[in-house]
Every structure is written in structure tokens, then in C-alpha cells.
Amino acid sequence: MSLRNTLCAATALTLVTATGAMAADPTATITIATVNNGDMIRMQGYTDQFTAETGIAVDWVTLEENVLRQRVTTDITTKGGQFDVMTIGMYETPIWGANDWLVPLSDMSAEYDVDDILPAMRNGLSHDGTLYAAPFYGESSMVMYRTDLMEAAGLTMPKDPTWQFIREAAAAMDDPANDVNGICLRGKAGWGEGGSFITVTANSFGASWFDEDWNAQFDQPEWSDAVNFYVNLMNDYGPEGYATNGFNENLSLFNQGKCGMWIDATVAASFVTGDDSTVKDSVGFALAPNAEGVEKRSNWLWAWALAIPAGTQQEAEAKTFIEWATSKAYIELVAANEGWANVPPGARTSLYENPEYLKVPFAQMTLDSINAADPTNPSVKPVPYVGIQFVAIPEYAGIATEVSQEFSAAYAGQQTVEEALEKAQALTNDAMEAAGYR
């Protein structure tokens, strides 16, 4: 054998050995911070498959949503470098993208097909037209209602109900003797809990958080109409102690057959029609309501998305993971193993063009709800901000937490709605002035 042939054989052997080693032992390990939501946990179950395909091992850090926010914010701002991929939402992404805290996802592969991401999601996860996080799953909000109770009440839920109809239906379905509440809604303090719900409700009554000069708008009649409507509806037909109910509490009530209607995240549809629900065979869906004569509905828009913090040492590996986890192939992988009802919803257009997925009872309504949400024009009034159930400015989380605490106190009867609105107006204007907006 000539020297040249020997070298070629040695090189080939080295390559084969190296490739074999890569398949057997991970070449790199990335750390991913995530939340404990059903779709995220399911994704963790497929980690071995990702490692086998790419040679990249994954360490998961699963945290409660608020802890995760605090943890990743601290990590980014101190350049801690603990995470290579972070699970963040639509509120953080544009703000962090603007601060150059995230790696732009502008060079995804052609196979990834970035144009397939639902436009509402892509816009919400971009800053100045640059995508900073890839949606893993997206959601809006919608009405989930008991078809059997609705039928017994002699009513038909329209596809696009008004708040007035919702009140009428709640009155008809409310049955305290049988422990059925006409309606269950969030009232729990917290910007992402009751704060989100009352904000979208206010949008659908024509209200907004700020005018174009960043003046708080809680002193406007639309806010008073919205909050008074909510309080009267819940006092008349809602469950006891609704002021402390959030997503999980209402999900629990609905699954036990104790709510005629529940307006909340579209992602709840798979829970209320799942095996843990006692009413899974009699659930219908409709668009989130609006007040009569107001064009905006009370849909919100949210995505849990995967982003790469700037400064990570493993940017290429992190990008490989994001492409894998948010790809069409991943959706097909989950569908093949666990059925179409369990795939992460609300992220890709192609999912909603798939006839198999459209057989899932809540698929079309989820898409319609997402499409009905417009983060760039959340209110009928002109506003200086982006975001539907939030205002995409760094100060919002702190302000909205305090405002929602005032509202929850009003729901609990500790103060009047007018007092809560007055306090909300004062504290918001004070905070905005301190932050230099006014």
C-alpha cells in the first residue's frame, strides 16, 4: 500500500471513529431554562432523540414561571452565562431584543421555514423586524362553555359572542342548587393572572392603559364600565372567592363541572377535553367576547418561545436545539407518538393546514382566536405601546402587579371599584413619571 493510500485510509478511519464517538458521546452540553407546562415537559421526554440526532446533550432547569423570569433576568443582566437557551414569553422578547440581550434568530436554515411561523407570533417575538425567539407554542383566549347546559338553557352560543350575551348565558346556566356557577373568570392578583384578564376585558370595552402621551387612562368611563361589568357578572354568577382564582383554580372548577363558561387561554382546551375532565364530552368553544359596538374583542396573544441569551459560549448548539424543538418535524414526531391533540399549538401556519390536526375540536377556534388578536393595535383608541394583555415596556410588570392587587381588593369587596380605579390611576401615573415617560 502506498503512503498516499495509507494516509487516506488513516484519515477515513479517523473520521469514522470521530463520527462514531460523536454518536456515542455528546460533543457538547447545553443548559435550557424552561417552565413546567405540559408541552415543555413533553419536549423534555424527547431529549434523548435530539441528542442521538445531533450529539448535543441537554441539561434542563425547570422552574416556576415567576422564578424563571427572575432567574433568567438576573442571569442576562449579570452576564452569568448559566443558560444557553431560555424559555421566555411575548412580553420579554421585544424588550430584551431591543437591549441586545438576545441573539437574533435571523439565519435559520431554509428547511426550518421561518415564514411558516404564524404572523401574529412572529411579529410579537420580533423587534424592528428581527426575530429574537422562536415560538414553541402560542395561545390566545377564548370562551369554553358547557354545550349540555347551554342546550338545557335554550340558548345557542354564537361563534363571536358579546359580553351582553355572556351575561345572559351565565344567568341562564347559573344553578347554585347543583353547585354550578354561570361563569368562572380569573380574579387573582398578578400581572399575568387577573391583571391580564381585566386588561383584555377593558380593551373590549374600548379602554386602554395609556393615551398617546403615556397618561394613565383608569379615570376614563370605559375602564369603569369594564371593571363594574366584570364585578357585577362575577358577584351575580361567579364562584365564591373568585378574587383569588387564577388559571389553575378555574381549570379545576371547570373540570369538575362547576362552571357553565370559562374564558381563558386556548391552551386550556386540551385540558378540559382531556381524561381528567368530568365534562370532556360536552365542551364547546367560541371567540372571546366584546362589548356591543366595540370592534376589539377580549382575545389576548401569548407565546412561550425559545431564545438564546447573548454571550452564550454555545450559540451554534443552542440554535440547533431551537431549530429542532420548534420545527415542523418535531410537531410530526409528537403527533406520531402521542396524537395530534397533543402537539404544541399556535406556532405554525402549516399545522392549521393539516387536515388531521383540523379534526381536533378546538384547532380552528384556537387559530381564529390568535388571528383575532392584534398586539400593535390592542385598543380602539390610538396607543403608544405594543401588547394586548400587557404593555411592552420594562416598567409594566411592576405597575400592573400593583394595579391588579387594587382590582383584586375590589373583587373581594375590600374597596369599591371606583376606589380601585382611583388608586390605579395615581400609582400608574406616579410610576410612569418616575420612569421618565411623562
Partner 1 sequence: MARSVSTQRKIITTAAAWLIGLLIFFPIFWTILTSFKTEAQAISNPPVFFNFDWTLENYAVVQERSDYMRFLWNSVIIAGGSTVLGIIIAVPAAWSMAFVPSAKTKNILLWMLSTKMMPAVGALYPLSLLFVWLNLLDTRFGLIMVLMLSNMPIIVWMLYTYFREIPGEILEASRMDGATLREEIFYILTPMAIPGIASTLLLNFILAWNEAFWTLNLTAAKAAPLTAFIASYSSPEGLFFAKLSAASTMAIAPILILGWFSQKQLVRGLTFGAVK
> Under the rule (CB under 8 A), what is the footprint of partner 1?
31, 33, 35-38, 41, 44, 59-67, 70-71, 74, 77-83, 192-193, 246-248, 251-253, 255-256, 258, 265, 267-268, 271, 276, 278
Cell digits for 243? Answer: 378574587
Nearest-approach distance from CB 137 to partner 1, in angstroms: 11
Tell me how far apart the alpha carbons of residues 105 and 254 are, in angstroms, rounded to a whole number: 39
Nearest-approach distance from CB 65 to partner 1, in angstroms: 5
CB count in 10 Å sphere of residue 2: 7
Q: Which residues have C-beta within 8 Å of that of residue 172, sequence separation ≥ 6?
A: 153, 154, 155, 182
Beta bridge partners of 259: 181
Nearer CB in complex with partner 1: 314/379: 314
Nearest-approach distance from CB 211 to partner 1, in angstroms: 32
Nearer CB in complex with partner 1: 306/386: 306
Nearest-approach distance from CB 145 to partner 1, in angstroms: 20
Nearer CB in complex with partner 1: 11/278: 278
Helix or strand (DSSP H, E) at 325: helix 315-325
Nearest-approach distance from CB 23 to partner 1, in angstroms: 23
3-class secondary structure, 203: helix
Tell me how far apart the alpha carbons of residues 346 and 357 are, in angstroms, rounded to a whole number: 12
For the chain, the straight-line distance linking the first and the last C-alpha, in angstroms and rounded, comes to 82
Nearest-approach distance from CB 195 to partner 1, in angstroms: 13
Nearer CB in complex with partner 1: 26/384: 26
Q: Which amino acid is at 246?
A: G
Alpha carbons within 13 angstroms on the beta-carbon side of residue 235 total 12
Nearer CB in complex with partner 1: 266/425: 266
22 φψ region: left (φ > 0), alpha (ψ -120 to 50), beta (else): alpha
How far is Cα of residue 238 from the mean position of the Cα atoms in its chain? 24
Nearer CB in complex with partner 1: 63/427: 63
Tell me how far apart the alpha carbons of residues 301 and 141 are, in angstroms, rounded to a whole number: 7
Nearer CB in complex with partner 1: 65/116: 65
Nearest-approach distance from CB 248 to partner 1, in angstroms: 6
